[in-house]
Amino acid sequence: MIKLLVVDDSALMRRLLGKVFGAQGDFQVEFARNGLEALAMLDSVRPDVITLDVHMPEMDGLACLDRIMLERPCPVVMISSLTEAGADVTLEAMQLGAVDFIAKPQGAMSLEIDDLAPLLVEKVRAAARARPRGSLRLAERVRLKISAPGLTPLSLPRPRQARTKLAGNGVVLVGTSTGGPPALDAVLGPLPADFPWPIIVAQHMPAAFTGPLARRLDRLCALEVVEVVRPIPLQAGKVFIGRGDADIIIGGRTGGPVVLAAPAAPEHRWHPSVDRLVVSAMDHFEAARLLGVLMTGMGNDGATTMTRLRAQGGRTIAEAEETAIVWGMPGELVRAGGADAVVPLEGIAGQLMEWLG
């Protein structure tokens, strides 16, 4: 049985979530009305996973999450509103250690909860198997490791086979899902402003969240980070974040390739789709001019296409199991034989700089 603690000040939300998880047959559900009550229950309930509302009286979700991570680290899924303010708070929660989030229904909760239930159950089950980590401290350790005197990127984890440095123009393609925002911070933060290739990121996330994510990364990184809402020419020194609930692809223009948002393709389950991004890149670049990175996330988005990319002469990195919050997407890439390098999160930036000089 999965021991779940539902923390929400709304009696209706507690009842609806209890109904959803109680119907699964493998959840033992306990309830807390606020953060203080949840903290008092940690030792007695010893939950495998927690769902945590953001706005609560007496102690809000962020303060409660911070205490949970200090007192008894446990996978936490935030219940967040689909607003820009909700997005900022949710991203802060993921820096504090939350594994994932799900958007609270915007209309009548009792009517919308049935549509939301399959995704909610899937995310909470995945979170129960996840490895919580101190992501903000990890990002700081990565920056220290990259910049430490006498330590070069060659000191970081190496690919399984030595490969020559890449030259000329190309593109880095990054795919991630559950646990992705702090992982992106850890990978993009150490890269220099003159990084030679543009980076395109497909992070599974709703549209209300990708703009705040891009702005937050832009403040933290030497590279310029933008959300793609219109066609933009590919340019070195920039990171392009795919708009949520849509797909991000590379397209051709007379002046050269551009990155653009496209309506979500129904044949892909998750958006922005990593698979669709990689296919579009291979339509406009030789495989040898592409470098794929697949990081933490449930499912297999990107694994098949990045395996094909490697087979045709591209290079790929899979995040190692020991650092991935959920070793779904990168694990599928490794199992398919599609990873040139299997690298802990703190070594991915160094591996990119080693290959690209």
**Confidence class of residue 159 from pLDDT cuts 50, 70 and 90?**
very low
Please check whether residues 153 and 252 belong to one and the same domain: yes
19 pLDDT higher than 60: yes
Question: Above 70 in pLDDT, residue 143?
Answer: no
Mean pLDDT of the chain: 89
Catalytic residues: 177, 204, 301
Question: Are both 106 and 214 inside the same structural domain?
Answer: no
DSSP calls for 95-164: HHT--EEEEPPSS-HHHHHHHHHHHHHHHHHHHHT-----HHHHHHHHHHHHHSTT--GGGSPPPSS--P
CA 127/CA 45 separation, integer angstroms: 17
Does position 2 have pLDDT exceeding 90, yes or no?
yes
pLDDT the model gives residue 268:
96
**Position 341 pLDDT exceeds 60:** yes
pLDDT in tens, 77-88: 999 876 667 889
Position 155 pLDDT exceeds 50: no
**Based on the domain organization, do 186 and 118 belong to the same domain?**
no
Q: Average pLDDT in the 122-136 region?
A: 79
Task: Give the mean model confidence (pLDDT) for residues 160-176.
Answer: 76
Question: With the CA atoms of 87, 91, 93 and 96 taken in that order, what torsion angle do they form, in degrees rounded to the nearest 10?
Answer: -170
Which of 128, 155, 171 is at the close of a domain? 128
pLDDT band at 9 (very low <50, low <70, confident <90, very high): very high
Are residues 172 and 52 both part of a single domain? no
CA distance 139 to 133: 11
Question: Structural domain tally of the chain?
Answer: 2
145: pLDDT strictly greater than 60: no
Mean predicted confidence (pLDDT) in 131-145:
51
By residue range, what is the domain housing residue 226?
A: 135-356
Find all residues with CB under 8 Å of 305, minimum gap 6, and list them: 274, 275, 278, 279, 282
pLDDT over threshold 50, residue 148: no
Predicted pLDDT at 157 = 38
- pLDDT tens track for 242-266: 999 999 999 988 888 999 999 999 9
The residue among 334 and 157 whose pLDDT is bigger is 334
Alpha helices in the chain (DSSP H): 11-22, 35-45, 61-71, 84-96, 109-128, 135-147, 180-188, 207-220, 274-284, 303-311, 329-335, 345-356
Same domain for 193 and 76?
Answer: no
**Percent of the chain, pLDDT > 90?**
78
Give me the CATH number covering residue 185.
Answer: 3.40.50.180
% of the chain residues with pLDDT over 70: 88
Higher pLDDT residue, 279 or 256? 279
> Which range is most confident: 146-155, 163-172, 221-230?
221-230
Residues 184 and 271 in one domain: yes
Query: Does one domain contain both 162 and 82?
Result: no
Does residue 151 surpass a pLDDT of 50?
no
* Beta strand 171-176 pairing with 290-294: parallel
Answer for the pair 224, 192: CB distance below 8 angstroms, yes or no. no
| Per-residue confidence (pLDDT) for residue 302, from 0 to 100 | 98
245 with 124, same domain: the answer is: no
For residue 65, which phi and psi values (nearest 5 degrees)? -60, -45
pLDDT band at residue 154 under the 50/70/90 scheme: very low
Single out the residue in 128, 148, 163 at which a domain terminates: 128
Whether residue 145 is found in the same domain as residue 260: yes
Closest by alpha carbon to 262, among 238, 215, 240, 230? 230
At 123, the pLDDT band (50, 70, 90 cuts) reads very high
* Whether residues 204 and 97 fall in one domain: no
Residues pairing with 292 in the sheet: 173, 316
At 163 the pLDDT is 56
Q: Is 206 helix (H, G, I), strand (E, B) or coil?
A: coil
Q: Report CA-CA distances (Å) from 111 to 49, 51, 70.
A: 25, 20, 37
CATH number at residue 43: 3.40.50.2300
What mean pLDDT is predicted for residues 310-323? Answer: 97
271 and 161 both lie in a single domain: yes
Provide the pLDDT confidence category of residue 62 given band limits of 50, 70 and 90.
Answer: very high
Q: Six-digit token pair at 130?
A: 């996840």
Please give the order of strands across the beta sheet that includes 76-80: 27-32, 2-7, 49-53, 76-80, 100-103
Size (the chain), residues: 357
Q: Which residues, 6+ apart, have CB-to-CB distance to 85 below 8 Å?
A: none
Q: Look up the pTM and report it.
A: 0.88
> Which of 128, 153, 171 corresponds to the end of one domain?
128
